[in-house]
Chain A
């Protein structure tokens, strides 16, 4: 596995958010994490993105514990992956500048200052990967527009492009299409497939069962901080082995469950 969480646990105060979770993702596959909101999916993605260190267990990049590395080495590992959040979180700058951000921070200060000066005098030229990323998400026509003036769907596509433009080995996506209309969701899913075809490993946290079924090579069901079950979509959705997975899938089908209501949650205990 390229990026793995091995027996990770984390909590805040007395509250346990993740308990002994082991899961990994390989390049060239799409792994979805499903489960109700507040169940630990985002926390797991943040641990895998090295935002914070787990209380116990390890996060490994190609079998190396990332928290045993020096800060500089860990930065090098972090730069092999990128993340897209539920909110697009774009910078107040033109679209192309947002998308080239990841590449820019990877350059030396000297080069960055030179680019700024050149960009001030003349239009900045986009690198191939920035251009390809913008084409992949269908935003090449709006490359000069300010990112904060985009619609929600367009903004999220740019956020995906920004994460793709750094040529990551792994992309982590936290509910990337939860606020999007069907058309933008389709564009984003298509972009995920194209990333996968390029050999990128994609981890997607979602509570959209249909999306998980459409895009996944593997699905992990997380409930109450625990990784309950992992398997191909057909197994998780049609023939789950764990009672809780079964109840969740059924609940989703019955109630078209929105996170705020989760009516079947107490019954799962």
Chain B
């Protein structure tokens, strides 16, 4: 359907599209990967330890799912700007800054859904791991393994939040593309914003379809893994 549109692309159109896809995937996969590494141990700790203020911490995590992305972008920009605490790192308008803001946006989603998955693992399963000679780390690993299908859902939701994000990465990334069409901090979403604003609806449409295919693809992979798991259980 959109093949005719592709023929209307400018000379460096393919470089532009492919590098934009690559930047999108690199930034979102890195942010989601780091967020997962951070969120899972925290979810296990919060899920299975009692401490004063636990309900408040849980409430904060859940509230974080609704963080307005432009506010996050603004906050990250303030931190990394020349006069900010991380100003010396020179991160303004870099993919690293975009990763940081996507990390902040994806983390509450991944942590919150992982937390409820982890809390649904029964105490008796943890006791069994301990009683078989497991250390606290071993018990934590068992909990993550038992909650794996819920955790996959969490990661997919986090990925959805990250890849479809516009506001904050526009602020901290600067939406930069070089004159040869090579994207530096332009992602599929920010590219669509620009192309639509400039009246390049064809290319905007192509990018939109690619974004949808990517999101469907990643979610499809997740659903396949989960259905494999359900098959395992009833095998």
**8 shortest A-B CB distances, which residue pairs?**
A83-B131, A102-B132, A79-B133, A89-B124, A89-B128, A105-B138, A105-B134, A146-B232
Are A89 and B127 in contact (CB-based, < 8 A)?
A: yes
Contacts A105-B138, A146-B232, A148-B233: A92 and B132 contacting too (C-beta < 8 A)? no
Q: Which residues of A contact B229 (CB under 8 A)?
A: 92
Name B180-235 residues within 8 Å CB distance of A: 229, 232-235
B135 adjacent to A75 (CB under 8 Å):
yes
Interface positions of A (Cβ within 8 A of B): 49, 51, 75, 78-79, 82-83, 85, 87, 89-93, 101-102, 105-106, 145-146, 148-149, 159, 162-163, 166, 172
Tell me the bound Cα distance from A157 to B134 in angstroms: 21
Give the CA-CA distance A91 to B122 in the complex, in Å.
Answer: 10
Does residue B55 face the partner (Cβ distance < 8 Å to A)?
no
- Taking chain B's interface residues, is the majority helix, strand, or loop, or is none over half, making it mixed? helix
B: number of interface residues (CB 8 Å): 21
Residue interface bits B106-148, CB-to-A below 8 A is 1, else 0: 0000000000000000101101111111110010001001100
- When distances are taken between beta carbons in the complex, the residues of chain A under 8 Å from B133 are 75, 78-79, 82, 102, 105-106, 166
Q: Is A159 a contact partner of B135 (Cβ separation < 8 A)?
A: no
Q: B128: which of A78, A85, A166, A172 is its contact (CB, 8 Å)?
A: A85
The 29 sampled A-B contact pairs (Cβ below 8 Å) are A51-B127, A51-B130, A51-B131, A79-B133, A83-B127, A83-B131, A85-B127, A85-B128, A89-B128, A90-B125, A90-B128, A91-B128, A91-B142, A91-B145, A91-B146, A92-B145, A93-B145, A101-B134, A102-B133, A105-B134, A105-B138, A145-B235, A146-B234, A148-B233, A162-B128, A163-B131, A166-B132, A166-B133, A172-B131
Evaluate whether A149 and B124 lie within 8 angstroms (CB atoms) in the complex, with A101-B129, A105-B138, A166-B133 already known.
no
Which residues on the B side are within 8 Å of A93 (C-beta)? 145
A51-B131, A105-B138, A162-B128 given; 17 more Cβ-contact pairs under 8 Å: A49-B131, A75-B133, A75-B135, A89-B122, A89-B124, A89-B125, A90-B125, A92-B146, A92-B229, A92-B232, A93-B145, A101-B132, A146-B232, A146-B235, A159-B128, A162-B132, A163-B132
The number of inter-chain residue pairs (CB within 8 angstroms) is 67
